[in-house]
């Protein structure tokens, strides 16, 4: 791959040229994905198996604490465990991928100051690495679903759409966060707080039907709510999703992806000198 010295007067190329550049950089992205996974599990004793155990342990705790309060509110009460696990997988991916993408820029700052490589490639690789962890997390979901008598049909292919939306959101928000970290280091603490709030505002362990008329619209405005609904509905009819959920999640995901790239392109020439 050809490299050139970084030019502070370099004018960011349009988004379509960026996408073309990404398509031409698949070998590099593949290397970066392997690097992300290797670094993540380098000192882990169980390695990638943690991607299987983490959602299961989280689901077990949530089920133990909340099954009395919310189990009877789910359409099929005996499906409450896979119901929770679907939500846990989505919110875990969101938190993990956002952190990985945001840290991928500052974590590789020494590279950007010595040669020209599109920094967005590191963010994309981090999001794809998180998506691979998500796919591993589907294994216990299928096992738990079958164990609880959930009928998993061809509608489960909608997981591809769900994952695509999550990856777009991770890249867009992650790039926005990464550029913010460079200018305002304290923004990391704010993001940690916001991700915690978003986690509680996503119906992971509670059905949205139990919410009051004033709270429900706020929770529904969270795009992760629509993504979780689509996931549960098409995976095993664990929840009802509508065309509005599909439209809202798709438009938001694409919009935040384009916004993230646009803002990053505009601010990167000023940000790179601060690395």
What does the alpha-carbon distance between residue 223 and residue 169 come to, in Å, rounded to a whole number? 10
Tokens 């789910």, residue located: 74
pLDDT at 6 over 70: no
Instruction: Give the pLDDT band of residue 232 (cuts 50, 70, 90).
Output: very high
Res 112: pLDDT: 74
Using only the alpha carbons of the chain, give its radius of gyration.
20
The DSSP letter of residue 12 is P
Mean residue pLDDT of the chain comes to: 84
Closest CA to 161 of 227, 258, 91: 227
Res 75: pLDDT: 53
Tokens 């590279």, residue located: 111
Q: Which of 7-16, 39-48, 50-59, 241-250 has the lowest mean pLDDT?
A: 7-16
Top-ranked range on mean pLDDT: pick from 29-38, 87-96, 177-186: 87-96
Tokens 């098409």, residue located: 234
Would you list the domain boundaries of the chain? 47-274
pLDDT at 117 over 70: yes
Res 72: pLDDT: 57
What does the alpha-carbon distance between residue 109 and residue 23 come to, in Å, rounded to a whole number? 23
- Alpha-helical regions (H) of the chain: 15-23, 26-40, 50-70, 80-106, 109-112, 120-147, 159-183, 187-200, 216-220, 223-236, 243-271
pTM of the full structure:
0.86
Instruction: Give the pLDDT band of residue 187 (cuts 50, 70, 90).
Output: confident
Percent of the chain with pLDDT strictly greater than 70: 86
**CA distances (Å), origin 258, targets 19, 68, 96, 250:** 11, 42, 21, 12
Tokens 């349009």, residue located: 14
**CA distances (Å), origin 46, targets 54, 106, 211:** 11, 28, 39
CB 263 within 8 A of CB 119: no
pLDDT at 81 over 90: no
Residue 63 backbone phi and psi in degrees, to 5: -65, -45
Res 1: pLDDT: 47
């Amino acid at each position: 791959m050809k490299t050139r010295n970084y030019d502070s007067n370099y004018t960011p190329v349009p988004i379509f040229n960026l996408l073309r550049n990404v398509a031409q950089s698949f070998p590099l992205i593949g290397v970066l994905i392997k690097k992300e996974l290797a670094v993540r599990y380098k000192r882990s004793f169980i390695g990638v198996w943690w991607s299987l155990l983490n959602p299961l342990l989280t689901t077990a705790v949530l089920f133990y604490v909340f099954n009395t309060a919310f189990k009877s509110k789910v359409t099929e009460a005996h499906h409450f465990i896979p119901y929770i696990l679907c939500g846990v997988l989505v919110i875990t991916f969101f938190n993990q991928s956002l952190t990985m993408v945001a840290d991928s820029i500052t974590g590789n700052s020494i590279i950007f100051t010595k040669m020209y490589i599109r920094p967005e490639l590191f963010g994309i690789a981090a999001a794809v690495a998180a998506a691979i962890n998500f796919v591993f997390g589907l294994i216990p979901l299928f096992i738990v679903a079958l164990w609880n008598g959930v009928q998993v049909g061809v509608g489960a292919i909608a997981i591809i759409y769900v994952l695509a939306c999550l990856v777009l959101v991770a890249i867009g928000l992650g790039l926005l966060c990464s550029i913010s970290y460079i200018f305002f280091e304290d923004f990391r603490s704010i993001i940690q707080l916001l991700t915690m709030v978003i986690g509680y505002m996503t119906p992971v362990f509670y059905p949205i039907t139990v919410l009051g008329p004033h709270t429900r619209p706020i929770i529904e405005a969270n795009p992760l709510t629509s993504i979780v609904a689509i996931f549960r509905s098409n995976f095993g009819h664990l929840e009802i999703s509508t065309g509005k959920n599909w439209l809202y999640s798709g438009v938001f995901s694409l919009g935040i992806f384009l916004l993230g790239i646009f803002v990053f392109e505009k601010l990167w020439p000023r940000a790179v000198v601060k690395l």
